[in-house]
Amino acid sequence: MTTRIGIVGCAGRMGQMLMRETLEGEGVSLAGGSEWSGSAALGRDIGELLGRGPLGQVVGGDARALFEASDVIIDFTTPAATLEHVALAAALGKPLVIGTTGLTPEQSARIDAAARSAAMVWAPNFSVGVNLLMALTRKVAATLDDSYDIEIVEMHHRHKVDAPSGTALGLGRAAAAGRQVALEEVWVKERDGQTGPRRSGSIGFATLRGGDVVGDHTVLFAAEGERLELTHKASSRAVFAKGAIRAARWAVGRPAGRYDMTDVLGLSA
C-alpha cells in the first residue's frame, strides 16, 4: 500500500527536499505540505515551488487538515512549531517523524508525554550512515577505557543557528552511554583562555561554521601513542530526507511510543 506523507514546514530547505524525495520515492505519495501563517509560500503550487510543473497541490496553512489527510507526517521545523505539531499528532493519533534540533529538556519531555498517544520517531540525524556512526561510537567507547580522550568535532554551513549540532550531541550521548555516564556530567562545550589540563573522562565538543557545508562529524578517541577517528560527511541533504521517509514508512501502524533511528534500522539490540 502507498503511504501518504504530509510535510509541515514544506517551503524550507529540508521541507522541499522531503517533498522531492517523497514525490520520487517508491511506495509513498505526497499528501500535501503546510507552512506557517506568514509564509510567502502559502497558496503556491507545490510543483512550481519545487521548480517543476504544476502538481495541482498548493501549500496550505492548516496543519490539522494536513494531519487528517496523511498517514504520517514529517516535521523538520523549529522547536515552537514542533511542539504544536506534537500536540496535533497526539490528539489525532497520527505518527510523526521529528527532525527538529535545538529542543530544550522541557520541550523533549513534552514530546515524551505526547508519545503516549501516538508513535513518534525523533532523531538528531536521519542519515543511515550517521546512525551507524552512533552505534559504532557507543561500541568503541564501551571498549576503550578513560585513557582514551573523546572529542567530537562538527562543521555545518554558516546559517545553522544551534551549536553543538543535534547530531554532535547525539554522538556525545552515544559515547557517554558506552561509558555508562550521563553526558551532561562530563561534557565540555566551551574552551577559552587558561582552561587547565583536560579532565579525565570528559567528552569535548568543537564547533565549526562556514560556507555551505551540509554536515561533517568526527569522533576522536585519542590516547598516548595512537588515535582512532570515526568520521561521517554528508554532501547532500537528500540523505536526511531519504532516512526520514524510511522512518515515516516504518512508523505507520506502530503502537504509541517514542522511537528513534536505532529502532527503524534494527540497531537497538
φ, ψ for residue 14, nearest 5 deg: -70, -35
pLDDT recorded at residue 241:
94
pLDDT recorded at residue 101:
85
Who's near 45: CB < 8 A, 6+ residues apart? 54, 55, 56, 57, 58
Rounded Cα distance between 255 and 267, Å, is 19
Mean pLDDT on 47-60:
95
Query: Is cis: bond before 197, omega within 30 of 0?
Result: no
Contact 214, 165 (CB under 8 A): no
User: Model's pTM, two decimal places?
Assistant: 0.81
What are the chain's domains? 3-122+237-264 (3.40.50.720), 128-234 (3.30.360.10)
pLDDT recorded at residue 64:
97
Quote the percentage of the chain above a pLDDT of 70: 99
| Grid cell digits, residue 54 | 504544476
Catalytic residue among 85, 94, 157, 160: 160
Band of pLDDT at residue 269, cut at 50, 70 and 90: low
pLDDT per residue as tens digits for the range 158-178: 999 889 998 999 999 999 999
- Helices then strands, counting H and E runs in the chain, come out as 10, 11
Compute the mean pLDDT over every residue in the chain, rounded to the nearest whole number.
95
Q: Is 160 a catalytic residue?
A: yes
Query: Is cis: bond before 164, omega within 30 of 0?
Result: yes
Mean pLDDT on 56-60:
96
Q: Are strands 187-188 and 28-34 parallel, antiparallel or unpaired?
A: unpaired
Rounded Cα distance between 212 and 30, Å, is 28
Contact 171, 217 (CB under 8 A): yes
CA distances from 183 to 139, 205, 269 (A): 16, 12, 21
pLDDT per residue as tens digits for the range 69-105: 999 999 999 999 999 999 999 999 999 999 998 889 8
Catalytic residue among 156, 217, 232, 242: 156
Contact 118, 96 (CB under 8 A): yes
Dihedral angle at the C-alpha atoms of 106, 163, 232, 97, nearest 10 degrees? 30
Q: Is 156 a catalytic residue?
A: yes
Amino acid at 138: R
